[in-house]
């Protein structure tokens, strides 16, 4: 067992190549959750200050992960919530459409679609090129070509959730700035496992569900909103997001002043006493590991699999546009997908079917044995 695997409690017999579906819990995260849960046995253990302190630390940790200032971070329950906040605060008089890429994750697509319907704008889809060679490079070029003065916003993920295509955020951010197009990014499938800097990418909103690559519990998430949003309208009016919230004795001295920065966009009950300590433990571990180290580890781990795929007619995205922790494998003709899935299940190799491909996702708990088990099944399917 590798050193990292011991920090989790995955059953020995399974090969879990599916963190993109949801990550397993770290032992440290489980323990934090257990301690948090039993704290409410006796409510006197939860002080008024506790409504704010853990959440503030969690924001600080996420800020480090994405190179932002803590003030610009908000706590959200889901990516859809964070995306809706970003979209609802778009200007209605600056453009006529919102860009997305094909097969964008539904939380992003539906959010953009509804806003467009409500504001007489159209949704424009930049389709994935139907080629096998230079696909990622071409897709990125087409996205760049689509950004012009008619775009109110682009809603895109850091990498494609289904196939791991890397979107060149720095170049897209530059084009967005030039054309006054809001840059709304869903980081759910990479933040934690891949480095990101919201400043160099000029991102306006970066939204992340916490239960995948941030290794937190379900229904916990974090978002960065640039200063552009500091006077925006939140989705709900929680007492906790007002400037006087920490003074429990004077909450009905109603104030129109919100908490600073992106604080107004926190979800109601953001103290989330059970989930925040778990997310905190997860982020502490991630920052200790660093996304750079995780990327390097999974890149090395995947090498025999990539070599096998290339040698045997399975399609994988080219190096520069393939996320190292999440990528899709296209099957050569002649392999029956249902038979392959059955064989994978029998071998206890867990991957996902997304679109046409088999989505593989890797983390530090994965070992060479997991990769070999997957290769063995692919090999037998030929
Ligand atoms: C890119 C991406 N965004 C968001 C989510 C989850 O969305 P939500 O938090 O709205 O349920 C997923 C889940 O697979 C995803 O892949």
The arithmetic mean of pLDDT across residues 185-208, rounded, is 98
Q: Could you tell me the pLDDT band of residue 1, with boundaries at 50, 70 and 90?
A: low
Atom number in ligand 1 closest to CA 78: 9
Domain definitions of the chain by residue range: 5-17+291-381, 43-288
Residue 326: pLDDT over 90 = yes
Ligand 1 pocket residue status of 209, Cβ below 6 Å: yes
* Mean of all residue pLDDT scores within the chain: 97
| pLDDT given at position 227 | 98
The rounded percent of the chain whose pLDDT value lies above 70 is: 100
247 CA from centroid of ligand 1 (Å): 36
Ligand 1 pocket residue status of 158, Cβ below 6 Å: no
For 87-100, the pLDDT digits (tens) are 999 999 999 999 99
Atom number in ligand 1 closest to CA 80: 10
The arithmetic mean of pLDDT across residues 198-218, rounded, is 98
Which residue has the least CA distance to atom 16 on ligand 1?
161
105 CA from centroid of ligand 1 (Å): 7
**Distance of alpha carbon 207 from alpha carbon 62, whole angstroms:** 11
Helices (H), the chain: 27-39, 50-66, 79-88, 106-118, 135-146, 169-178, 275-289, 291-311, 337-346, 368-381
108 CA from centroid of ligand 1 (Å): 8
**Distance of alpha carbon 371 from alpha carbon 155, whole angstroms:** 33
Measured at the CA of 296, the angle between CA 371 and CA 320, to 5 degrees, comes to 90
Q: Could you tell me the pLDDT band of residue 356, with boundaries at 50, 70 and 90?
A: confident
Atom number in ligand 1 closest to CA 221: 9
Do the Cβ atoms of 368 and 301 come closer than 8 Å?
yes
Fold entry, domain 43-288? 3.40.640
Q: Could you tell me the pLDDT band of residue 207, with boundaries at 50, 70 and 90?
A: very high
Which residue has the least CA distance to atom 7 on ligand 1?
79
Atom number in ligand 1 closest to CA 189: 1
The predicted model scores a pTM of: 0.98
Mutate to test the pocket of ligand 1, among 107, 162, 192, 211 (most ligand atoms within 8 A of CB): 107
In the block, which residue shows the tokens 């059970």?
274
Distance of alpha carbon 256 from the chain centroid: 33
341: which 2 tokens?
């899935």
- What lies within 8 Å, CB to CB, of 216 at 6+ separation is 29, 210, 275, 278, 279, 282, 283
Mutate to test the pocket of ligand 1, among 106, 108, 161 (most ligand atoms within 8 A of CB): 161
CATH architecture classification, 5-17+291-381: Alpha-Beta Complex (3.90)
Ligand 1 pocket residue status of 365, Cβ below 6 Å: no
Ligand 1 pocket residue status of 157, Cβ below 6 Å: yes
Q: Could you tell me the pLDDT band of residue 355, with boundaries at 50, 70 and 90?
A: confident
| pLDDT given at position 378 | 97
| pLDDT given at position 125 | 98
HSE value, Cβ hemisphere, 13 Å, CA-based, for 227: 3
98 CA from centroid of ligand 1 (Å): 19
232 CA from centroid of ligand 1 (Å): 24
Ligand 1 pocket residue status of 105, Cβ below 6 Å: yes
In degrees and rounded to multiples of 5, residue 376 shows phi and psi of: -60, -45
For 282-291, the pLDDT digits (tens) are 999 999 999 9
Ligand 1 pocket residue status of 361, Cβ below 6 Å: no
Q: Could you tell me the pLDDT band of residue 26, with boundaries at 50, 70 and 90?
A: very high
Angle between helices 275-289 and 50-66 (to 10 degrees): 30
For 239-283, the pLDDT digits (tens) are 999 999 999 999 999 999 999 999 999 999 999 999 999 999 999
167 CA from centroid of ligand 1 (Å): 17
The arithmetic mean of pLDDT across residues 164-181, rounded, is 98
Ligand 1 pocket residue status of 190, Cβ below 6 Å: no
The arithmetic mean of pLDDT across residues 44-58, rounded, is 97
Q: Could you tell me the pLDDT band of residue 2, with boundaries at 50, 70 and 90?
A: confident
Q: Could you tell me the pLDDT band of residue 354, with boundaries at 50, 70 and 90?
A: confident
Residue 48: pLDDT over 60 = yes
| pLDDT given at position 357 | 87
In the block, which residue shows the tokens 């800020």?
63
Ligand 1 pocket residue status of 111, Cβ below 6 Å: no
- Length of the chain as a residue count: 382
Ligand 1 pocket residue status of 83, Cβ below 6 Å: no
């Amino acid at each position: 067992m590798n050193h990292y695997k011991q920090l989790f409690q995955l059953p020995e017999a399974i090969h879990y190549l599916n963190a993109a579906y949801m990550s397993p819990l770290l032992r440290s995260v489980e323990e934090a959750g257990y301690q948090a849960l039993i704290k409410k046995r006796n409510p006197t253990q939860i002080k008024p200050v506790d409504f704010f302190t853990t959440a503030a630390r969690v924001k600080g940790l996420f800020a480090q992960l994405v190179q932002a200032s803590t003030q610009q971070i908000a706590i959200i329950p889901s990516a859809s919530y964070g995306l809706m906040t970003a979209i609802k605060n778009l200007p209605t008089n600056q453009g006529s459409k919102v860009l997305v890429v094909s097969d964008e994750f539904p939380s992003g697509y539906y959010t953009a679609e509804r806003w467009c319907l409500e504001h007489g704008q159209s949704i424009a889809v930049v389709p994935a090129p139907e080629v096998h060679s230079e696909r990622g490079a071409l897709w990125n070029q087409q996205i760049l070509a689509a950004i012009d003065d008619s775009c109110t916003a682009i809603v895109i993920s850091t990498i494609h959730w289904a196939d791991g295509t890397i979107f060149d955020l720095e170049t897209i951010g530059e084009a967005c700035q030039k054309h006054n197009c809001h840059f709304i990014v869903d980081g759910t499938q990479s933040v934690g496992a891949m480095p990101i800097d919201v400043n160099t990418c000029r991102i306006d909103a970066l939204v992340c569900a916490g239960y995948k690559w941030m290794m937190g519990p379900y229904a916990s998430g974090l978002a960065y909103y640039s200063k552009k949003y500091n006077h925006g309208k939140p989705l709900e009016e929680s007492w906790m997001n007002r400037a006087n919230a920490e003074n429990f004795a004077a909450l009905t001295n109603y104030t129109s002043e919100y908490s600073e920065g992106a604080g107004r966009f926190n979800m109601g009950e953001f103290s989330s006493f059970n989930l925040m300590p778990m997310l905190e433990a997860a982020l502490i571990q991630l920052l200790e590991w660093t996304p750079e180290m995780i990327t390097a580890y999974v890149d090395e781990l995947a090498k025999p699999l990539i070599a096998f795929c290339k040698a045997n007619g399975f399609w994988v995205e080219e190096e520069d546009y393939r996320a190292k922790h999440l990528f899709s494998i296209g099957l050569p003709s002649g392999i029956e997908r249902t038979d392959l899935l059955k064989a994978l299940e029998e071998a206890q190799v867990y991957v996902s079917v997304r679109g046409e491909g088999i989505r593989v996702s890797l983390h530090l708990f994965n070992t060479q044995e997991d990769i070999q088990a997957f290769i063995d099944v692919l090999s037998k399917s030929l």
